[in-house]
Amino acid sequence: MAERSTTVTVSLPSGRWETVSVPQTSTIGDLKAAAQKSLGRYFLRLVAKDKLLQVSNFLDAVAVHNGDHLTAIAEGARVAATEFAFALWSSGSPVVTWGAPEYGGDSSAVRADLRDVRAIQASSKAFAAITMTGQVVTWGDECCGGDSSTVQEVLKDVEQIQATKRAFAALLKDGSVITWGDPEAGGDSSFFREQLKGVQKIQASSESFAAILADGAVVTWGSLTGSVGSSLIRDELNNIQHIQSTWDAFAGIRSDGSVVTWGSPIGGGAVPSSVKHRLKEVIHVQATLQAFAALTREGSVITWGSPIGGGDSSGVQDQLFDVTEIQSTRNAFAAIRSDGSVITWGSSTGGGDSTAVQDQLRQVYRIQSTQKAFAALTKDGEVVTWGSPCSGGDSLRLRGRLDHVVDIQATKKSFAAIKDDGTVQTWGHLADDVEVKDVQQIYSTASAFLALQSDGRLVTWGVQEFFLTM
């Protein structure tokens, strides 16, 4: 006897609709997959009577019956990336991974566990996924956190995960922290287990973690464990609200707007006395590899750390006022002022010198960066670039084509811009023209781009090029 079917009408907000049939014993996830195939659209959520339907529920459990009318709404896909692999997911959809297997591009060994994923974090070579039930699934290079078997039994009720280059730290619902991966990069926090209670937030540098406790105190472990050894610094590590990091130092903004630093003095872990008294009413701190730039409430900027890494802004200090945003490459900073002008400093070969394009830097509202170059997007959709040509600082070959741009993304050495017609322009290390249309969003790894098209197809280009259809 043939299995009975449930037939429903599924419509998009545009008014387009399709009739979809699935076995009565199906789940909402099965119905969603069938609807996406019929409509030719992907990353959809199904709604019945103004209520979102959960993909794990069976049709009869949520009273979806023959002849019902459902609405399908688009849900944005989310992407995480290691250095050479992508992981893509959306609520209720399977996790899709590709790229170098040793960097997490192959998740086949844990595919059965990657269900109902709500978040994914990435180290340099591994991924860690949090499911809706608070469980954690890991894959990729074992030395970089791809194997969490030693702590799997205690990885429950996980709220969030942070990553260094080679380790992960999970914040649990009860405020405790579980770590795994390379011990020298923060993968072993056992020495601080008693201190890591009531944790509110975790911040990561390349090889260290810093946890903010409920009272604003800070606990640090990893390669910078010994950097908070002095009682003076420990006494200052309180009322911390936000943390930023260079390669080997941290800067914490306290609730009163002052700043405390720790870590390598060369990397910004020590603030000169001539600078420290000016660090008041700080609202944001930006970092290069070895320097910090603090933005104050009034729009001024204070810098410290390696001079060649952007820690010395004395040459442009008189121009650093009315600043609204700061962006950085590895060794240079770029500040956007309220009038849309841009001020730069730091390594001249890394984007710190914008004199050649200064007259074009008008009405800028967003800046993107590679390792050694900047790309500024103006309010009229024009793009201005400067810095190392090999890293995207020279876009002259695209003259006349970088207009009507709505967004810019970057790898370590290349930029990709989406235009308002859905086409894409790429320049820098990955300078080949890419024939791709109807692009909604672009994501990137260290050396590749991913374009999400309006019909749900994915196009990637870079070190490993292939076409993927979902």
Q: What is the pLDDT of residues 389-415, one digit of tens each?
A: 999 999 999 988 999 999 999 999 999
Between CA 328 and CA 251 the distance in angstroms is 16
Q: What is the distance, to the nearest Å, from the Cα of residue 242 to the centroid of all Cα atoms in its chain? A: 17
Beta strands per DSSP E along 84-133: 85-89, 96-99, 117-122, 126-131
Q: Which H or E run includes 46?
A: strand 44-48
- Domain segments of the chain as ranges: 5-74, 77-197
pLDDT reported for residue 124: 96
Residue 21: is its pLDDT beyond 80?
A: yes
- Mean pLDDT calculated for residue range 76-86: 87
Local confidence band at 454 (pLDDT 50, 70, 90 cut-offs):
confident
Residue 325, pLDDT > 50, answer yes
| 468 pLDDT more than 90 | no
Instruction: Report pLDDT for 231.
Output: 38
The Cα–Cα gap between 198 and 219 comes to: 11
Has this prediction a pTM greater than 0.75?
yes
Its CATH class, for the domain covering 5-74, is alpha beta
What span, in angstroms and rounded, lies between the C-alpha atoms of 266 and 222? 18
Residue 143 pLDDT more than 80? Answer: yes
Instruction: Look at residues 408, 417, 414 and name the one whose alpha carbon lies nearest to residue 436.
Output: 417
Give me the CATH code for the 77-197 domain, please. 2.130.10.30
